[in-house]
């Protein structure tokens, strides 16, 4: 039986969008903080990518360090209709454990790389000129 393709198989990014099968869904991003184990600072991100061919969402729990290092802490797939509540539950658990606040960023209506570029600006971040969000 052939193995199902995951979003990680699509390219080198933590999450990848091709705007045909894989689309950005909802992200949860914490503020930066630090502790004894990571004194230079870190934040958590939950990034979800919608697979429209299967009706599922892949969620990645990502630890990002201030120096740019990223650790993929956990990755799971869930039906699209359960993705928001699962992401909110994960964010709430991380918030409680580490004293964090999370911002929910909804990209569930994004259909193109230009839509994504515009939507990210709403949350105060922009892509570099050569970034498209495409997984080409």
pLDDT in tens, 33-87: 999 999 999 999 999 999 999 999 999 999 999 999 999 999 999 999 999 999 9
Quote the pTM value: 0.85
Q: 122: buried, middle or exposed (CB in 10 Å: 19+, 13-18, 0-12)?
A: exposed
Is the pLDDT confidence value at 93 over 80? Answer: yes
Q: How far apart are CA 14 and CA 83, in angstroms?
A: 18
How do 102-106 and 22-30 pair as beta strands?
antiparallel
Average pLDDT over residues 85-93: 97
Answer for the pair 129, 84: CB distance below 8 angstroms, yes or no.
no
């Amino acid at each position: 039986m052939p193995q199902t393709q995951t979003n990680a198989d699509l390219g080198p990014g933590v999450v990848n969008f091709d705007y045909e099968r894989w689309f950005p869904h909802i992200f949860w991003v914490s503020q930066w903080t630090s502790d004894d184990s990571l004194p230079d600072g870190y934040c958590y991100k939950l990034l979800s990518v919608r697979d429209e061919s299967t009706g599922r969402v892949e969620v990645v729990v990502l630890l990002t360090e201030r120096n740019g290092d990223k650790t993929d802490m956990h990755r799971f797939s869930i039906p699209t209709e359960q993705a928001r509540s699962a992401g909110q539950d994960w964010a709430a658990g991380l918030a409680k454990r580490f004293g964090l606040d999370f911002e929910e960023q909804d990209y569930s209506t994004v259909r193109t790389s230009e839509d994504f570029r515009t939507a990210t600006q709403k949350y105060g971040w922009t892509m570099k000129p050569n970034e498209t969000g495409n997984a080409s």
